[in-house]
Amino acid sequence: MQTTEPRLKALMVASLDGDGAAYRLLLGELRSGLKGYFTRRLSRSAADVDDLVQETLMAIHTRRETYDRSQAFTAWAFAIARYKLIDHYRRRGRRIFVPLEDAGALFVSDESGASDARRDAERALAILPERTRALVRGVKLEELSHAEVAAKSGMTEGAVKVAVHRGLKALTAHFGAGSDDDDR
């Protein structure tokens, strides 16, 4: 499979520089890739597939200014699609693991983006005390439920929620950024 990263990244950069035609081409290519990606995972519901494609394209559109031109575009776009799929499963009450390695199913990806993000997240978590770091890692990175993390740590579910919230608040204060957790 031929990699689409250079072409999609060039279209994204051109669109950020104001090229409307490049942006339309980018969205068209993304629509095709996203439709295939979501169809393979939601074979029973074409309406859900279309909704997720639209939600993902809207998220990419509204967050396009946050794209770092020095990073791989497909990894950035896949992360958004992955979060939209996870949100879809959560709304339906299902708990499904969608591994980052599935990025290849959406586009041929540059794996350095995923490993860079993981390394950056671990560096950020390093400012937290070990116990809080483990709780935040379990809930936010490993996507375990608060109850699962509570059982593993010997804490109550409420205590885990409070500790994770305080840990995220400390990270936000340390790095000076607002929380977009609900906006993915």
Q: Which domains does the chain have, with CATH numbers?
A: 1-113 (1.10.1740.10), 126-177 (1.10.10)
Predicted TM-score (pTM) of this structure:
0.50
pLDDT one-digit tens code per residue, 152-183? 999 999 999 999 999 889 888 887 654 444 44
Q: Return the HEC string of the chain.
A: CCCCHHHHHHHHHHHHCCCHHHHHHHHHHHHHHHHHHHHHHCCCCHHHHHHHHHHHHHHHHHHHHHCCCCCCHHHHHHHHHHHHHHHHHHHCCCCCCCCHHHHHHHCCCCHHHHHHHHHHHHHHHCCCCHHHHHHHHHHHHCCCCHHHHHHHHCCCHHHHHHHHHHHHHHHHHHHCCCCCCCCC
Q: How confident is the model at residue 86 (pLDDT cuts 50, 70, 90)?
A: confident
